[in-house]
């Protein structure tokens, strides 16, 4: 049974989601502000977090930044009543694994959570991938470039793993989304593009200055060997 932490100040919504998710086999606990969530996370790390953008004692995005620092591979799904594109972009830039706007269909939330949990609970078989100056530890979700170590989120790890499996060969966006996000992209869904952008920034260019990850129009993305 996967342990899930809901962080949302809407108590009624938390009760409804907790009831649904419990029926779906999750062990659910809830916090209604950032401080109580931080205290809860010091005692026990859940298998996944559902985090609202707006909290009564601060921004959920600030809490997300702390989560990414303290628990880089913890799956985090952002939830927001506003659902504005800027919120989605900021959440994904800060390392959220996925994003849903409220009100959301509980079935969709359940499907998204199961997708990120499948990826987190089934680590890669290979322990390490080496390509040029880049060494990727799949088990740890850490990239070493020279003497510089880069910690990746779960989605970034899955994305890089897929690209390194066939360097120089483009991987279709839908295939990448399935591998990295555990789901297909929907219309106007830029989640994958944001994860690629984050990964590019973390990895930086090759020593010769050329980008490591390139896009091929209508074909997808590939790692430049």
- pLDDT digits 0-9 by tens, 184-195: 888 888 889 999
State the pTM of this model. Answer: 0.74
The pLDDT, as a whole number, for residue 159 is 92
14, two tokens: 């938390």
In angstroms, the Cα distances linking 87 to 39, 56, 67, 94, 108 are 25, 17, 17, 11, 19
201: three-class secondary structure by DSSP: helix
Q: Which sign, positive or negative, has the C-alpha torsion 62, 65, 70, 71? A: positive
What does the alpha-carbon distance between residue 3 and residue 14 come to, in Å, rounded to a whole number? Answer: 15
Strand partners, 52: 79
Confidence of residue 123 (pLDDT cuts 50, 70, 90): low
Block residue for tokens 């809407």: 10
Least confident window among 50-64, 79-93, 206-220: 79-93
Mean local confidence (pLDDT), 71-91: 79
Strand partners, 78: 51, 99
Q: Which fold has domain 128-223?
A: Arc Repressor Mutant, subunit A (1.10.10)
Q: Where are the domains of the chain?
A: 3-121, 128-223
Q: Is the peptide bond before 77 cis (omega within 30 degrees of 0)?
A: no
pLDDT at 197 over 80: yes
The pLDDT, as a whole number, for residue 151 is 87
- Say whether 128-223 and 3-121 share the same fold: no
pLDDT at 141 over 90: no
Mean local confidence (pLDDT), 103-119: 87
The pLDDT, as a whole number, for residue 128 is 82
Confidence of residue 182 (pLDDT cuts 50, 70, 90): confident
Block residue for tokens 């690209």: 163
- Nearest Cα neighbor of 25 from 7, 9, 48 is 48
Block residue for tokens 């260019």: 205
CATH fit for domain 3-121, picks 3.40.50.300, 3.40.50.2300, 3.40.190.10, 3.40.50.720: 3.40.50.2300
pLDDT at 68 over 70: yes
């Amino acid at each position: 049974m996967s342990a899930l932490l809901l962080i949302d100040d809407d108590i009624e919504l938390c009760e409804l989601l907790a009831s649904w998710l419990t029926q779906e086999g999750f062990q659910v606990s809830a916090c209604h502000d950032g401080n109580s969530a931080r205290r809860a996370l010091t005692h026990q790390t859940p298998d996944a977090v559902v985090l609202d953008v707006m909290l009564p004692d601060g921004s959920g995005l600030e809490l997300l930044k702390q989560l990414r620092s303290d628990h880089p591979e913890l799956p985090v799904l952002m939830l927001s009543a506003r659902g504005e594109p800027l919120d989605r972009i900021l959440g994904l830039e800060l390392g959220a694994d996925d994003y849903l706007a409220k009100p959301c269909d509980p079935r969709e939330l359940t499907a998204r959570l199961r997708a990120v949990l499948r990826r987190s609970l089934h680590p890669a078989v290979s322990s390490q991938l080496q390509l040029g100056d880049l060494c990727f530890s799949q088990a740890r979700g850490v990239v070493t470039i020279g003497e510089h170590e880069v910690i990746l989120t779960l989605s970034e790890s899955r994305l890089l793993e897929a690209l390194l499996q066939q360097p120089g060969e483009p991987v279709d966006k839908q295939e990448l989304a399935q591998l990295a996000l555990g789901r297909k992209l929907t219309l106007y869904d830029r989640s994958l593009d944001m994860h690629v952008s984050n990964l590019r920034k973390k990895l930086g260019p090759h020593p010769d200055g050329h980008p490591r990850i390139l896009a091929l129009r209508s074909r997808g993305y590939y790692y430049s060997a």
